[in-house]
Amino acid sequence: MIEVFKTNITQVDQAERLKAELTYRLPVARINFDLDDCDHILRVEVDTPQAVAFVQHHIQQHGFICEALE
């Protein structure tokens, strides 16, 4: 399952830190950021809807916007 999110993460160091935290908690997930995109994209490939919800919640807990793109 692949989910694409719009975020307000603009700094590479923020993205790297969040990616490391998420990868630690979801080791089988494939996570990447495209900060050059106007929507500051976060792409997540996971195996369950619960994992998608966890990623979104984790990003939001750190004070960032994380909205699923249609």
Domain borders along the chain are 2-68
Specify the 3-state DSSP secondary structure of 16. helix
Q: What is the pLDDT of residue 51?
A: 95
Strand residue runs (E) in 1-70 = 2-7, 30-34, 41-45, 66-68
Residues in the chain with pLDDT values less than 50: none
Q: Does domain 2-68 have CATH number 3.20.20.450?
A: no
Closest by alpha carbon to 36, among 7, 64, 67? 7
* Beta sheet of 66-68, edge-to-edge order: 30-34, 41-45, 2-7, 66-68
Residue 70: predicted pLDDT: 80
pTM, full prediction: 0.92
CB 31 within 8 A of CB 15: no
